[in-house]
Every structure is written in C-alpha cells, then in structure tokens.
Amino acid sequence: MKSSFTNSANVALLLMACSAPVSAALFPSLDGKAYYDDVLDITWLADTGYAKTSGDHPTGWMSWADANAWATSLAIDGVTGWRLPGMIDIDHDGCTQFKTKGGSDCGYNVLTGSAATTVYSELASLWYDTLGNLSSYDRFGHHGAYDASGNWVGGLRNTGPFVNLKPGGHWTNQRYEGRTWGPNFGGNSWFFSINNGLQSSADVTDELRAWAVHPGDLRLVVGATLNGMETATAPGPSFPVSGSSASWNYRVKNTSGQSIFDVRLYAESVEPERVDPEELCYLDMIPAGGEATCTSESLIVDGAVKIRLSAQGSSQEGNHVQSDMAAWYIGGSDFKPSLFLDVTMAGLDIDSQRPGPELYDRGTWYHNVSVTNTGVVPLRNVRVFDRTEEPSTEAWTKVCVFSAIEPTETKTCQVDVKGIEGGDIMKRHFTAQMRYQNGKITDSDFSYYRILDYP
C-alpha cells in the first residue's frame, strides 16, 4: 500500500472523504520508538517531542526550514528517510475556503483521507480519525463540542500511544501556495494545530513544533551491504569497474514486539531501468527483536543504481506486513558525485577581490549561497557551514540545508552579512558538504568585505 499525494477537484470524492473517515490501527515498530499507521501507510515517531528530548533542539519549536532539516537528518536505530507530515494544498490556491464544518483543506474538520484513496492531511487523519479528537466546531460548523450532558469534549483529549503530544501548531512539509503575509512575504507553510484541529498557514520564520514520520511500515527493517559497504543512503558506494562481481549481504530485523511469520525478501531494480521483482530468500519466522540474514551475488551495473528491497510476512493475527527500503550504489568510474559552491554579494564574486566591497552599517546585506550538482547522480542532505576567520576565528555554524539536489540543479539560500564597524577586513569561509561512503564530498568559497560607519 502506497501513500498517494495527488490533487483532485472532484467534489463528490471530497465529500466522500469528509463523511467517511477511516480510523487507523497503530502498530509498534522500531522496538517501541515508532508506530505504523495502516491507513496512511506511514510510521510516526512515538515521541512527538523527540527534537527536544533527543537534545537536537533546546525547545523543539523551530522555523519551517529548521524543522524540515531536522526531520530529514534523523537516523533512528540507523533508519533514515524521515520527513515532516504531509498534506495537500487543494487546487494550489492556499486557504481560499476557510470552513468550520469540513470539506476543505483549511479551517476545522478538514479533509483527511487514506492511502487507499487520497491522503489530504496526515496530521488531520491521525488527530481526527484515529485518535478521535474533536475540533472547536462540530460537523455542522457550530462552535462548541459538547457531550449529551453539556460537557466540553473538544480539543486534544486523546493522545493514543504517543508521548509528549502537547497543544501547539505542528509544521507540515507543504509549502503554502496561496496569498501570503508576514515579514517573509511570499513565505508561508501549512501547519496543523494539536490544540483544536485547525489547519492553516504560518510564516515560515514562525517557530512551531516538528514531528517526524517515515513512509511505509518499519515493523521489519531491511538493510544491505555491497562488498561490505552500506547502501541505505543515496547515492551509495561507488564501484568503478562495471560488470565486476559483487556480494550482497541482507539483514531483516523484526522491531514489532511480536513474531512475524513466513518472511520473504524481494528485490526490484528501480533505476537506471526497472526490472521485475525477484525473491532473494525465504527467512521463515523472525521472532520479536530477532534478525535474519541472507546473501546473493550480482554484477555491477553502469550508472546510478537504486534497488527496492521488500521484506514481506504475516503477523500473529494473520495481517500482511510489508517493509520497503531502498539500496543505492554507483557503477562506473564517471559516476562519482560532485558539487560546486559559489558565494556572491550584490552580484560580486567576492572571494577574489580582497579587501572586497565596502558596506555601510545602515544597509541590509546578504550573502547569496548557491550549491550546484555538477555530477550525474542526485545529492542528498547537503549542508552549508560558515565561519568568520578574520579579524578573529569563530566556530563553524550551519547556515543552509538542502535535502536533495538533482544533477545540474542549483539550490540557493541567503545568509546575513555580519561583522564589525570601523573598516576592518572581514573574511568568511563557507563550505558545502555531503557525506559519501566513509568521507565527505566538499567544496569551499570565501567572502571578503569591510563594514564602514555611515557618513
């Protein structure tokens, strides 16, 4: 079962999705660190405040960019590929129909959906349909949610198995596509309020909570090495000799808390060309917390290779369990990833013009940082750091994160100019980095400038 984020203007379908919510069963995975949602076909972190409790962030409240960067950088028990919850901006027009009685993507009682049809909002589906919470408005749009005795029953009442699920806005990964407002005019993103079931938008610089999800089912966690090197993160290890023989070692771990039976492991080539799935091995029963392994041999293929590994079995109740993970590698000597970092200011290539431009202290100045994928394979989780090196050296600071950069694509961000008045030459050192095998792919650039007192 695949999560489907597709837009639809079919009014009948929208009304059906609104009137027929589907409650999910939540299955423990990752040894209790997460729960699989069988309606959305995603896995939720059990600790909704993990950004804070893990020490990754002092409060757990962060801007939209920081929230995305945090989620995509997560590795829980070695499992990567996390993201913020998704939703659909129907018709790509933002909040043009704020409704309290439902049937919209904006307001209260919003559309939820399921992976079997269309997922309109993952957070709304969990909050309304699975946990059974009620918004500040009933399904007729009247303010108030009361039981037969007149008691208020709206808001966050049911938290399910999750910990640290507290009132507050939670970011989605969906950029707001309608008319925007705020200090970053043109920069808003969608959020869902755990307080009262509101779905709306906020300025991307606002600080809201971040809750990570992972596509698919993690009750079985699949991993693979190729000639002893891990393949879980794109672009994967590099093998310069195409056609050479290589050894795969597969492992399947049961993190569900109960035995899983009749487990089989399949492989399907996805890139550079699709090949039908084949069964790699039969692993029989894997007990709770247990791990099974098997091996195979293959020939190295030219180019950027992506293989979908699928572990499939049955739970004690007879329900189908399927966990899919990707394995990556690069074949051929011309396929090593590479990147190019360029830093400019006001259109000037400031790394070769010491002492650089003269800036007055009353101006607003930015470094324009761009990272270009100069290779033929996608780049993942590219981070940009900078530090001041003159007149004194400071610690490195992470200033930008790009979750993915496709071949020939350029991603950009802006970094504030900082410095001291008085005409001293400032030297800033920027570096772009991506982890690759046991090292990093990097490139550096520099910035020179002076800040003068306004005359």
Give the model's pLDDT for residue 14. Answer: 36
Mean pLDDT, rounded, for 190-195:
94
Specify whether 204 is located in the same domain as 237: no
pTM: 0.68
Specify whether 75 is located in the same domain as 205: yes
Asked, for residue 319, whether it belongs to a domain, the answer is yes
Asked, for residue 5, whether it belongs to a domain, the answer is no
Asked, for residue 4, whether it belongs to a domain, the answer is no
3-state secondary structure of 113: strand
Q: What is the count of structural domains for the chain?
A: 3
Residue with tokens 């090292």: 439
Give the model's pLDDT for residue 290. Answer: 96
3-state secondary structure of 19: helix
Question: Given 199, 215, 231, which residue is the final one in a domain?
Answer: 215
Asked, for residue 1, whether it belongs to a domain, the answer is no
Percent of the chain topping pLDDT 90:
46
Specify whether 80 is located in the same domain as 94: yes
Residue range(s) defining the domain that contains residue 426: 339-452
Give the model's pLDDT for residue 346. Answer: 63
Percent of the chain topping pLDDT 70:
82
The two three-digit tokens of residue 253, written as one number: 């771990």
Q: Collect all residues with Cβ–Cβ distance below 8 Å to 189 and sequence separation of at least 6.
A: 64, 171, 172, 174, 175, 176, 201, 202, 204
Give the confidence band of 18 by pLDDT, cuts at 50, 70, 90: very low
Beta strand ranges found along 25-113 (DSSP E): 26-29, 34-37, 42-45, 61-62, 98-99, 106-107
Specify whether 321 is located in the same domain as 443: no
pLDDT (tens digit, 9 = 90+) per residue, 122-171? 999 999 999 998 888 877 666 666 666 666 666 788 999 999 998 899 99
Question: Given 196, 215, 234, which residue is the final one in a domain?
Answer: 215
Q: How far apart are CA 35 and CA 45, in angstroms?
A: 6
Specify whether 53 is located in the same domain as 201: yes
Asked, for residue 176, whether it belongs to a domain, the answer is yes
Give the model's pLDDT for residue 145. Answer: 66
Average model confidence (pLDDT) across the chain: 84
Question: Given 331, 364, 383, which residue is the final one in a domain?
Answer: 331
Mean pLDDT, rounded, for 26-51:
95
Specify whether 54 is located in the same domain as 203: yes
- Is 367 in contact with 345 (CB distance < 8 Å)? yes
pLDDT (tens digit, 9 = 90+) per residue, 89-109? 887 777 877 888 888 888 999
Q: Is the pLDDT of residue 22 over 70?
A: no
For residue 18, give the H/E element and its range. helix 11-19
Asked, for residue 262, whether it belongs to a domain, the answer is yes
Counting Cα atoms < 13 Å in the Cβ hemisphere of 28 gives 13
Residue with tokens 């076909």: 41
Largest distance between two CA atoms of the chain: 79
Asked, for residue 172, whether it belongs to a domain, the answer is yes
First to last CA, the chain: 66
Amino acid letter at 81? G
Asked, for residue 6, whether it belongs to a domain, the answer is no
Closest Cα partner for 124 from 134, 112, 114, 133? 112
Specify whether 211 is located in the same domain as 250: no
